[in-house]
Structure 1
Amino acid sequence: MNTFRAVLLTLSLGLFPGAQAKDLGVVGQVFPITEIDMLQWIAQRLKTLEQTGELASMQQQFKDTVKASVRRPRPVGLVTTTSPEVFSVDPTLTLASDITGTDGKLIYPKGMQINPFDPATWPAMARAAKAQFQFSKTLVFFNGDDVQQRLWAQEYQRQHAAGHETNESNKTIKWILTGGEPETTHQQLSARIYFDQQGNLSRKLTLKRVPSVVKQVGVQWQIQEIDVSHYPNFIDAEAQPHE
């Protein structure tokens, strides 16, 4: 039966050897295909916004946003602790790729590990010069929005200046905020203030809590967490030195 149907289909097609497509005309209105010039559209849009005053408002809003982010950067989000820890972090770096000279010759191979605190891991040239490296700063991470941490920072600064930590008195404190306003903290400590933007330093040093005092001990970083829970947590207390 299927063969019979196929034969009928073949015959029926053969009956119209001159069959061809026909122009059925146009149905409805036809429009040419056009593309909007994007630069022209943007220019027109900006002109409209300028005429309505929206552009000036947007520019002012952008300025205010930038000023606010500079005055108060996004906090890192580290918390305080009543069970402080002291731990070490290995600063060893591993080269992710070969380092070659201008002549294409290999200088340092991929996978080479270098500890900036350990001359034994340095390239041969540096070892031959018997170079040494001693990090001259103490890094102090704290949240400037926390009254207790600010009080602790003021006391730590006084102790450092008075030479109570005799073995550290020759080291410069580098204050690094994980929250708060750098300008306000600068006025409180009368010192240069840095901010851990996007928590980059905290992550590299694997900080868990603040305040944390970070310094070089031997060939590693030492992170010492501080318990500030015994400091007053109300603003009026800032006028009184903590004993």
Structure 2
Amino acid sequence: MTPLRAAPFLVAGLLMAAPASARDYGQQGTVWSVIEPDLLEQIHARLTHLEKTGETAKLGEELKRRTIARVNRPEPVAGIDSAAAARSWRFDPTISVERDIADDKGRVIVAAGTRVNPLDTVPLRVPLVFLDGDDPEQLAWATRRYASTRAKLILVRGAPLELMKARQRRFYFDQGGNLVKHFGIRAVPATVEQQGRVLIITEQPVRPKERASS
């Protein structure tokens, strides 16, 4: 990463630290015109020093390393256990429109209070399969059970890129746990499948006879 590209990250850190060395100009309303140039001079001097000492290159490499590591292995979704017992429930995605939705000419096409089911227009055509990518038993179960389907395998833990290369199929990752929170999933493996106008969500432990390696 070049010093120029690293500068925004360094500026953010310097701005946080700057008040410790800022001058006291009292409570006058015109202090901003004086402080801003002062801060810019401090930042410029600090950046110049970092460039001369090679620190910007080191910081850039560290940022690059951390970014690559996070892409290869995202932060695991917190609070998700391995399923110990089967649990299944219906999930109705219907929402109530909070305000009128109008077209470009101002004509109301969906009135406030209208109940809309997204599955009517965007059906879930393939199962969503949530699993722990670091659990060999869950991986074997999911890839064997859904070997001939277009199911989306979504990790809550693990290295999706590594698995894609090893198993020659696409893996996704539930970044931040947004999907499991939305569906109320607390354990994996878990599946989400459409049944009519609702979704059927099932958490299920891997049975002993399904634990053979894929």
Q: Same-fold call, TM > 0.5?
A: yes
- Label 1:231 to 1:188 Cα distance change in 2 as closer, same or farther (>3 A): farther
Counterpart Cα distance in 2 of 1:50 and 1:231 = 60
Q: What CA RMSD, in Å, does the superposition of the two structures yield over aligned residues?
A: 2.5
Bigger Cα displacement from structure 2, 133-142 vs 57-66 = 133-142
Q: Give 1:133 shift.
A: 5.8
Amino acid at match of 1:135: L
Q: Which residue of 1 aligns with 2:114?
A: 112
SS in 1 for 2:186: coil
Superposition deviation, residue 178 in structure 1 = 0.8
Q: Deviations along 1:27-66, whole A, 9 cap, x unmatched?
A: xxxxxx6646122321211111111111111111111111
> In 1, Cα distance between the equivalents of 2:203 and 2:156?
14
Q: Which amino acid is 1:107 matched to?
A: I
Matched, 1:153 2:142: yes
Q: 1:222 is matched with which residue: 193, 197, 200?
A: 200
Alignment match, 1:191: 169
Structure 2 residues without counterparts, runs of 5 or longer: 1-24, 26-33
* Correspondence for 2:10: none
Residue correspondence of structure 1 range 228-239 to structure 2 within 5 A: 228=206, 230=208, 238=213
More helix by share: 2
Rounded to whole Å, the distance in 1 between the matches of 2:36 and 2:118 is: 58
Given that 2:141 and 2:210 are in contact with CA atoms closer than 8 Å, whether structure 1 keeps it comes out as no
Runs of 4+ aligned residues of structure 1 deviating over 4 Å after TM superposition are none
Distance 1:185 1:51 in 2: 42
TM-score (norm 2): 0.75
Give 1 or 2 for the bigger CA radius of gyration. Answer: 1
Identity of aligned residues (%): 33
The runs of 5 or more residues in structure 1 that have no matched partner are 1-32, 119-131, 162-170
CA distance in 2, matches of 1:202, 1:54: 41
Question: What SS is found at the alignment partner of 1:59?
Answer: helix
Aligned residues: 181
